[in-house]
C-alpha cells in the first residue's frame, strides 16, 4: 500500500467517523422569524380591520386601565369626582333654571330631570374632549411600535364608560329618594347606551384622526362642546322646542339619545322619530369615521 492510498483511506475513515456524530448530535433548528408588519401607504384604504382589533383586545384593556389609574392615582376623592361633576352641574341648574327661570321638567323633580340628562352628556363630552387629543398625546407609542391605532381613541371612550357606570349609582339613589320608578321603557336603556357609545366612538375617532394633522381641532372641540350642550335637551325638555323646528332639532343625534334616555328612566313617552334619526346618523358617522381613520392611519407617524 502506497502513501496515497493510506491518506485516502484515513480521510475516508475520518469522514465516516464524523458523519454519524452529526446524526447523533443534530444542530438545533433555527427559531422562526417573527412576523413582519408592513405599513404600506400605497395600499388602498380598507377601513378598520375588526379582526386585528379583536386580536389586540388585551392591549385595549391595558390602555383603559392605564387611563383610569393615571387620572385617579393622586386624587384625594378618587372616583368620587366622577359623580361630583354632573351632580354639581345638576344642583346649579336646579337653582338658576329650575327655580329662578322656572323652566319645565316634564313633571319630574328638576334635580333628577337635570342629572338624568347630564349623565349621558358628561360621558360624551368628557370622552370627546380627552379623545380628540389622544392620538397626538400618544406619539411615543405610535412612532415606536405597531398596533391598531384605533385602540387609543377607543380606550379614551372605554375609560369614560367606566365613569358612566360609577356615576349611574347616584342616579339610582336619586330615583329612590324621589320614589320614581322606571316603566317598561327601561328595557330600551341598553339600546340607548349602545347608541350613545357608538356615536361617541365615531366622533372621537374622526376628531382624533383629524387632530393629528390639524391641531386646531383640539382647540375647537371644547368650544363646540359648550355650544353643543345648549342645543341638546339637557337643561330643558324637548317639548319646549317648537313643533316646526322639531325635525331640524332632531338632526342632533344627542337630542334623540338623551331625550329618550330620560324618558326610559322616568316612564315618559318615547320620541321614536328623533331616536330613528339618531340611529341613522350614528351608523353613517361610524362608517365614515372608520373609513377615514383607516385611510389616514398609515401616515400618523409622519405627522406626529
pLDDT band at 76; cut points 50, 70, 90: low
pLDDT band at 78; cut points 50, 70, 90: low
- What pLDDT shows up at residue 303? 63
Cα distance between residue 139 and residue 279, in whole Å? 33
Could you read off the pLDDT of 62-74 as tens digits, one per residue? 889 888 888 777 6
Grid coordinates given for 282: 350614528
Q: Is the dihedral of CA 213, 216, 218, 223 positive or negative?
A: negative
Cα distance between residue 54 and residue 156, in whole Å? 17
Q: Where are the domains of the chain?
A: 47-286
Angle, CA of 66, 70 and 76, to the nearest 5°: 140
Nearest to 104 by CA among 224, 268, 220, 226: 268
pLDDT greater than 80 at residue 298 = no
Mean pLDDT of 118-127: 94
Q: How many percent of the chain have pLDDT more than 90?
A: 38
Could you read off the pLDDT of 234-265 as tens digits, one per residue? 999 988 888 889 999 999 999 999 999 999 98
Do residues 83 and 166 make contact, with C-beta atoms less than 8 angstroms apart? yes
Could you read off the pLDDT of 94-104 as tens digits, one per residue? 888 888 888 88
Cα distance between residue 253 and residue 197, in whole Å? 12
210 by DSSP, 3-state: which? Answer: helix
pLDDT band at 301; cut points 50, 70, 90: low
**For the ranges 37-41, 209-213, 222-226, the one whose mean pLDDT is highest:** 222-226
pLDDT greater than 90 at residue 281 = yes
Cα distance between residue 165 and residue 168, in whole Å? 5
pLDDT greater than 60 at residue 282 = yes
pLDDT band at 304; cut points 50, 70, 90: low
- What pLDDT shows up at residue 37? 54
Higher pLDDT, 8 or 152: 152
Amino acid at each position: 500500500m502506497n502513501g496515497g492510498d493510506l491518506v485516502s483511506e484515513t480521510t475516508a475513515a475520518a469522514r465516516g467517523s464524523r458523519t454519524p456524530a452529526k446524526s447523533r448530535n443534530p444542530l438545533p433548528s433555527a427559531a422562526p422569524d417573527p412576523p413582519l408588519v408592513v405599513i404600506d401607504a400605497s395600499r388602498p384604504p380598507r377601513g378598520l380591520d375588526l379582526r386585528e382589533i379583536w386580536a389586540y383586545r388585551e392591549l385595549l384593556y391595558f390602555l383603559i386601565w392605564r387611563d383610569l389609574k393615571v387620572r385617579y392615582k393622586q386624587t384625594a376623592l378618587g372616583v368620587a369626582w366622577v359623580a361630583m361633576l354632573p351632580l354639581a352641574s345638576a344642583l346649579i341648574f336646579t337653582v338658576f333654571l329650575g327655580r329662578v327661570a322656572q323652566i319645565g321638567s316634564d313633571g319630574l323633580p328638576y334635580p333628577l330631570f337635570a342629572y338624568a340628562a347630564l349623565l349621558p352628556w358628561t360621558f360624551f363630552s368628557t370622552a370627546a374632549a380627552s379623545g380628540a387629543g389622544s392620538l397626538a398625546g400618544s406619539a411615543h407609542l405610535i412612532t415606536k411600535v405597531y398596533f391598531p391605532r384605533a385602540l387609543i381613541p377607543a380606550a379614551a371612550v372605554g375609560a369614560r364608560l367606566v365613569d358612566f357606570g360609577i356615576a349611574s349609582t347616584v342616579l339610582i339613589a336619586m330615583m329612590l329618594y324621589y320614589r320614581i320608578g322606571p316603566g317598561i321603557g327601561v328595557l330600551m336603556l341598553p339600546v340607548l347606551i349602545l347608541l350613545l357609545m357608538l356615536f361617541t366612538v365615531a366622533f372621537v375617532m374622526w376628531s382624533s384622526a383629524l387632530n393629528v394633522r390639524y391641531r386646531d381641532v383640539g382647540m375647537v372641540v371644547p368650544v363646540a362642546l359648550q355650544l353643543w350642550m345648549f342645543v341638546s335637551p339637557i337643561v330643558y325638555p324637548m317639548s319646549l322646542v317648537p313643533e316646526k323646528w322639531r325635525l331640524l332639532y332632531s338632526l342632533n343625534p344627542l337630542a334623540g339619545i338623551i331625550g329618550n334616555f330620560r324618558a326610559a328612566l322616568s316612564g315618559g313617552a318615547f320620541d321614536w322619530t328623533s331616536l330613528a334619526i339618531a340611529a341613522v346618523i350614528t351608523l353613517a358617522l361610524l362608517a365614515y369615521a372608520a373609513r377615514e381613520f383607516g385611510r389616514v392611519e398609515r401616515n400618523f407617524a409622519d405627522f406626529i
